[in-house]
Amino acid sequence: MSERSSEGPPGVPGTDAAIRTVGLSKRYGHTIALDGLDLEVPRGEVFGFLGPNGAGKTTAVKLLLGLAYPASGQGWLLGAPLGDRRARLHVGYLPELFRYQPWLTAREVLGLHCRLAALDRARWAEAVDSALAAVGLADRGDDRVGGFSKGMQQRLGLGVALLGPPDLVILDEPTSALDPVGRQDVRRIIRELRDRGTTVFLNSHLLTEVERVCDRVAVVDHGRVVATGTLPELLGGSTVALRATGLSADTIAGLGRFGRVRLDGDRLEVEGIAPDEVPDLVAEVVRLGARVHAVEPLQQTLEDRFLALVGREPAA
């Protein structure tokens, strides 16, 4: 096996995205798993990939990693065509479902994956120690995996994905088996990856986790991206409600620059206002002679927006 080069992955001139797909499609018999997926993930971002069960998320990950082949369309990973082995050497991957040999120690599992990733053998010990420390298993490296809890195995799987270190990390439900402390650790690791310029592609159904760590999000349904953007872009601005006395329809005529305004008694709602404009709104309301007794943000949640995009009704 050839040793992994310290040089970066092969690239395509003018291609700056970590992941790019154009019209990517996949069928399994008569079932359409992906239907012309168009996706672009800039380098250095934490990118959330959301969708209901059966939306095509797992199929998309398999195509990105070369574990399956598209029926049509094109894609690039780190600037190289999908399936390029040199590019895949610079990708870390945590699958949703995995199993390690129970008779191996955590250190031996990581060493095995150093070999599979074609890392320079001189770097193995350092890479293993770094991965164990990053995922909170530094004191369990010599313990057999068969004695690990599900959460500890999830940590070990994340450690495998961090070996290299990679330029792109694809995480499939990385917090599914973790307790609150473990989820906090994963969020910390993801932020550290972003800080050093690593791209993170996060496939998760835990919307609160996505809201906390992702720079941008794509929502996929029926094999197509139905929305993509930053969280403020997806949520379409926020709504704020003020409880204020001394206002009338005439005195609030100039507040339209902040958003869509509605006054009902002493309750003033402004829809579509940018979060950083709320202090200016309050100052303007006071300038108009009103007294502000309360300010209540009413921003739409990612869950509400997600359900709207995929055509589901929120639970009553």
Residues 47, 119, single domain; the answer is yes
Instruction: Supply the CATH number for residue 160's domain.
Output: 3.40.50.300
Residues 132, 227, single domain; the answer is yes
Would you state the pLDDT for residue 9? 54
| pLDDT tier, 143 (very low <50, low <70, confident <90, very high otherwise) | very high
Burial class of 46 by CB neighbour count within 10 A (0 to 12, 13 to 18, 19+)? buried
**What pLDDT digit, counting tens, does each position of 60-99 carry?**
999 999 989 999 999 999 999 998 988 988 999 998 878 8
Residues 270, 128, single domain; the answer is no
User: At which of 232, 255, 276 does a domain end?
Assistant: 232
Please tell me the distance from the alpha carbon of residue 110 to that of residue 173, in angstroms, as a whole number: 20
Per-residue pLDDT, averaged over 118-137, amounts to 92
Would you state the pLDDT for residue 301? 67
Residues 228, 254, single domain; the answer is no
Please tell me the distance from the alpha carbon of residue 38 to that of residue 230, in angstroms, as a whole number: 17
Residues 293, 165, single domain; the answer is no
Would you state the pLDDT for residue 121? 92
**What pLDDT digit, counting tens, does each position of 265-287 carry?**
899 988 877 777 889 999 999 99
Instruction: Supply the CATH number for residue 280's domain.
Output: 3.30.70
User: At which of 232, 263, 279 does a domain end?
Assistant: 232
pLDDT exceeds 50 at position 14: no
Of 283, 287, 246, the C-alpha closest to 263 is 246
pLDDT exceeds 80 at position 35: yes
Residues 294, 218, single domain; the answer is no
Would you state the pLDDT for residue 53? 77
Would you state the pLDDT for residue 93? 93
pLDDT exceeds 50 at position 248: yes
| pLDDT tier, 1 (very low <50, low <70, confident <90, very high otherwise) | very low
Domain count, the chain: 2
pLDDT exceeds 90 at position 247: no
User: At which of 180, 208, 232 does a domain end?
Assistant: 232
Q: When comparing pLDDT for 236 and 239, which is higher?
A: 239
Which residues does 218 contact at the CB level (< 8 Å), separation at least 6? Answer: 39, 47, 48, 49, 50, 225, 227, 228
pLDDT exceeds 60 at position 315: no
Do residues 244 and 268 lie in contact, with contact meaning Cβ atoms separated by under 8 Å? yes
Of 83, 81, 20, 73, the C-alpha closest to 47 is 20
Give Cα 114 to chain centroid, integer Å.
25
Record the pTM. 0.76
pLDDT exceeds 90 at position 176: no
Would you state the pLDDT for residue 200? 95
pLDDT exceeds 50 at position 316: no
With respect to residue 142, please indicate whether it lies within any of the assigned structural domains: yes
- DSSP secondary structure of 144-191: BGGG--HHHHHHHHHHHHTSS--SEEEEESTTTT--HHHHHHHHHHHH
Average pLDDT, the chain: 85
**What pLDDT digit, counting tens, does each position of 181-222 carry?**
888 888 888 898 999 899 999 988 777 788 888 999 998 888
